[in-house]
Structure 1
Amino acid sequence: MATYHSTRSRIEALSAKQAIRRGIAPDGGLYVSDELGERRIDLAGLASKGYLELAREVLGLLLPDYSADAIAACVDEAYGDTFASPEVTPLVKLAGESTDAQALPSYVLELWHGPTSAFKDVALQMLPRLMARTNAADEGAADKIMIVTATSGDTGKAALAGFADAPGCGITVFYPEGKVSRVQELQMSTQEGANVSVCAVRGNFDDAQSAVKGIFADRELAARLAASGVQLSSANSINVGRLVPQVVYYFAAYAQLLREGAVEAGDAVEFCVPTGNFGDILAGYYAKRLGLPVAKLIVASDKNNVLFDFLTTGAYDRERPFYTTTSPSMDILISSNLERMLYYLADGDCELVARLMDELAGGRYTVPADLLARIQEVFGCGWADEDEVAAAIKDCWERHGYLIDPHTACGYHALQQVAAAPDARARVVLSTASPYKFPRAVASSLGLFCPPDDFACMQVLEKATGTCAPTQLSELREKPVLHDAVVDIDGMGAFVEAASAKL
């Protein structure tokens, strides 16, 4: 049975259920299992497996202390009827003129057919089910859980949708005031649920995320909450229960390629992933460790290109200008899940990871040259500034008749920047959000008149492209705002404590 421990030490050995219930290790590290990759997914017969069957298989490997029946129930509840596509994450070929110099077939993996129109739904429909099948006995702790999450845009709503009115749980979501799209803000501020708290923060996402980590490390707060029967946990991808469901859609993409005849079993595929916090692309690395033939994982960044610089030079420097862009979910300078990647590619060197994270607290670290070389064997990188994002949206529409959002546009642009790996037989861009979550940015990129109101802009976009906004987005206009709190960074802990008192 797989055991989990911190990326920064091996002092504790936890089960998957314990790791999920805790969310983050007491030393600030993230939970990892040294058994990752010891058991692998058999590619034979992969083409015949649908999403639910693949999810049962992948989650069964990564979370082995859950019974097969428990995993099956979680999968059915999460994906049985909550996604608009029967494929859950359908793969779409970019028709028309190829943008790839090597003329490899290019595809888009649509991850946004869930209830909040963003890729986070895939994991955050699953996490509450996994959490519900833990209990206080697993952790020897409180019987109620308060989920505390900072969001750069999409995680917040997806977490709220997953955890609203979940038994034994509350959820508190913080987002940076004025730094998410209007649609994203309304998705959160109109959220119903007796156990839901939402708050804007004066600062950027990195400020909020760092403060949330500080809240988890606050022993005095933890003691006060424990006295009232409450334990903190996370719905960010720092929680292993949020990360592992994302591994599934890499295998689902490969299965769809096999069914189409685009590849044969064993052929390598390249994945280009728009990412800020490194969770979505780390799931691709997990898939590779589980036996998926991954030629390369391309990190696509926006103007906040700290990951591009790191992957190019080996130096991670958070002391740099922060830009608010049209791809707010990627406006991040501290990529938390990079820590897990460092752990695995440093062959489990906890001391090195702990030292690097200590240095990052001071603003910067540089990895050893041999470690950078290993990282660059697995990961490529590209980035797009705001003009390039707009140009990519326009090019994808004019060349392929396919509408993409600004985050996906970063991936589309990076795919053209980065030469394909020699062994790649197909290239897949992960599309992380519906274009209708960012209607003004998309319409403006297409040269359309943009009314000041996002919902009027949705209608302009629908008329011009013949596409349709997801109902759950277009209906937001009519919903009342239920959450309007705003706090400074140093007020976040008190907000969590007040929200926990309501459980």
Structure 2
Amino acid sequence: MQVLSTRGKMNSIPATKAVLQGIAADGGLFVPESFPQIDLEEMKAYAAHEYDILAARVLQYFFDMDEAALAEITQQAYGTFDDSRVVPIKELTSVDYVMELTHGPTLAFKDMALQVLPRLIRKALDIHKQQENVLILTATSGDTGKAALEGFKDVPRTAIEVFYPADGVATMQKLQMVTQEGGNVAVCGVRGNFDDAQTGVKALFADNALKAFLKEAGYTFSSANSINFGRLIPQVAYYIYAYAKLAADGRIENGQEISFIVPTGNFGNILAGYYAKRMGLPVKKLVCASNGNNVLTDFFNKSVYDANRTFHKTMSPSMDILISSNLERLLFEVAGRDDVQVRAWMNALKQNGRYEIPAETQAGLRETFWADFCDETETAQTIKTVFETYGYLIDPHTAVARCVGEKYRRQTGDGAPAVVVSTANPYKFTQDVLRCVSGQDVPDAFEAARQLSQITGTQIPPQIAGLHEKPVLHPDCVERTGLKTAVEKFISRMGD
């Protein structure tokens, strides 16, 4: 498949090449030249087997690669998960389901794509005979960083540096990153919030002097954020799988519309659901669930994207975002693939922190999307209520989705089946989850994990239990203006 840039659609390149580039030369994001159409009966048959088989088939729609090579990629990627089903689906009621994307090596949904992406990059390097190695630069609001580090750890011909907001991630999330092992990895805190880190990383991609420095060192840029086309597409598979699995198990009729409720920050996860719908998946509504940083709620309901607002640090830090990068891909589609208009909106966002879309465009968006947010009190109550009602422990991000899903049902009267997308294991946020369930405030994250396990009867994942024994290998922290220097130091070290 060929892909286009959201800001210059006249020049297309192969999807495998886009995986290596990460972001388009004009600053835009890569999108498919057209959307392939899935066969629901075929997907239902695949869902009766292992997840990796369906995932390989979905990747085949987008990447011109050998079928056996893609099957090998997905088999290796999902063979690392702690549940053989890879994506278990929990039934709360006959119309309320939870899709668990939390069984990968870092306990977050980012593993669904970031166990695939490094393997895609290795294949793409061979396909295009690229001589330079790949430097992966990534900004993280919590989970992407660890998942990317784990996925790229010691992968030949790659190096990865992750930037995170120094005081904007949960204790366990930070420990997972700063203790990361691997000879080709670096982690650096940024004194600021996620938007500062993300803006800084994007600026590095456009820095010609840094590009020349990297070229001399034998490297070229790419990204593990969902701005990378190769990171986005593997996420499409689990929407198709969840639907096909529900149909295969007789819980829905094949062809029946269902909704997905998605905790949303950078807009990559829910965009993958939109891509699945464009491919023919019978999606009734994509419910965009935000926390107190409700810039997306206002956008979908008021036609204005305005990042000029107070930034809130919440117990769902992976959603503490005011600039949702992947929204650009959706705007490209709803604007009739008008790259000139998209550039104008993105320039307005960069210069003024806001832009406004026409009322008819907003009306088109609301045919597919429904948006609301959940504050901290509601999030806490949802964690407590779900555990007391179903004996099911969820993390704050999943709680935001559950809360907004209930608002959606109340306000619309829609009783159709709906799937909450669960994005992280609750033990990544032990102190907050313990406080929500029991009212106890425990300063030490590991003691909180012990008490949470005792109270709820759930097991502490080994990835969390063993963290306190690991040494901190990446203590560096820089100002917002220090990212370039950090990259130069890292690449110089890689060359020693």
- In the superposition, the TM-score normalised over structure 1's length comes to 0.95
Task: Tell me the residue number matched to 2:186.
Answer: 197
Give the SS at the match of 2:431: helix
Instruction: Pick one of 248, 261, 277 that aligns with 1:259.
Output: 248
Give the corresponding residue for 1:438.
429
Q: 2:264 aligns with which of 272, 275, 281?
A: 275
User: Does 2:2 correspond to 1:3?
Assistant: yes
Aligned partner (choices 76, 92, 104) of residue 94 of structure 1: 92
Structure 2 distance, partners of 1:201, 1:253, is 37
Partner of 2:114: 124
CA distance in 2 between partners of 1:205 and 1:298 (Å): 23
1:427 Cα offset (Å): 0.6
- Two-structure CA RMSD over aligned residues (Å): 1.5
State whether structure 2 residue 394 is matched by structure 1 residue 365.
Answer: no
Could you tell me how far 1:142 is from its partner in structure 2? 4.7
More helix by share: 2
Residues 137, 109 of structure 1: alpha-carbon distance in 2 compared, 3 angstrom cutoff:
closer
Distance, in Å, in 2 between the alignment partners of 1:43 and 1:389 is: 38
Distance 1:457 1:354 in 2: 47
Higher mean alpha-carbon deviation, 338-347 vs 412-421, is at 412-421
Q: Please, which of 373, 381, 384 is the counterpart of residue 374 of structure 2? A: 384
**1:38-68 deviation digits (Å, cap 9, x = unpaired):** x3233344442431111011000022x2221
Residue in structure 2 matched with residue 184 of structure 1 by the alignment: 173
Could you tell me how far 1:12 is from its partner in structure 2?
Answer: 2.4
CA distance in 2, matches of 1:292, 1:337: 20
**Contact 2:40 2:254 survives alignment (8 Å):** no
Query: Structure 2 residue aligned with 1:107, among 97, 110, 114?
Result: 97
The residue that corresponds to 1:495 in the other structure is 486
Q: Name the aligned partner's letter for residue 92 of structure 2.
A: L
Question: Which residue matches 2:28?
Answer: 29
**Cα offset, 1:143, TM superposition:** 1.7
Given candidates 311, 325, 342, the residue that maps to 2:300 is: 311
Percent of paired sites with the same residue: 48
Q: Secondary structure at the match of 2:344?
A: helix
1:161 partnered with 2:160: no
The answer (yes or no) to whether the contact 1:120–1:154 under 8 Å persists in 2 is: yes
Gaps of 5+ in 2: none
Query: Counterpart of 1:101?
Result: none
Q: Find the aligned partners of 2:477 and 2:426 in 1 and give their Cα distance.
A: 28
- Among 66, 80, 83, the residue aligned to 1:82: 80
1:147 corresponds in structure 2 to 136
Distance 2:9 2:255 in 1: 35
Q: Are positions 1:485 and 2:476 aligned together? A: yes
- For 1:84, give the aligned amino acid: D
* Cα distance in structure 1, aligned partners of 2:289 and 2:408: 10
User: How many residue pairs end up in the alignment?
Assistant: 490
In 2 relative to 1, CA 137–90 (structure 1 residues): closer, same or farther, beyond 3 Å? closer
Q: Paired residue for 1:454?
A: 445
Instruction: Give the Å deviation of 1:292.
Output: 1.1
Aligned ranges 1:398-477 → 2 under 5 Å: 398-419=388-409, 425-477=416-468
| Contact map agreement 1:155 1:236 (CA 8 A) in 2 | yes
The yes-or-no answer on 1:327 pairing with 2:316 is yes
SS of residue in 2 equivalent to 1:490: helix
Q: Secondary structure at the match of 2:493?
A: coil
Q: For 1:424 and 1:258, how far apart are their aligned partners in 2?
A: 18
Aligned partners of 1:145 and 1:168 also within 8 Å: yes
Show the counterpart of 2:40: 42
**Structure 1 unaligned runs (5+)?**
96-103
In the alignment, the residues of structure 2 paired with residue 144 and residue 136 of structure 1 have an alpha-carbon distance, to the nearest angstrom, of: 11
| In 2, Cα distance between equivalents of 1:106 and 1:136 | 44
Equivalent position of 1:57 in the other structure: 57
| Contact preservation (8 Å) 2:132, 2:215 | no
Kept in 2, the 8 Å contact 1:50–1:252? The answer is no
In 1, Cα distance between equivalents of 2:486 and 2:396: 32
3-state SS of 1:92 partner:
strand
- Aligned match of 1:69: 68
1:440/1:457 contact within 8 Å kept = yes
Deviations 1:266-305 (A, max 9, x none): 0111000001000000000111111211010000000000
How far did residue 345 of structure 1 move? Answer: 1.7
Matched with 2:332 is: 343
| Code of the aligned partner of 1:414 | V
**Cα distance, 1:137 vs. partner?**
6.9
Q: CA deviation at 1:242?
A: 0.4
Equivalent position amino acid for 1:72 in 2: A
1:398: Cα distance to partner?
Answer: 1.2
d(CA) in 1 for partners of 2:287 and 2:127?
41
8 Å contact kept, 1:190–1:481: yes
Change (3 A) 1:137 1:446: closer
Instruction: Note if 1:395 corresponds to 2:395.
Output: no
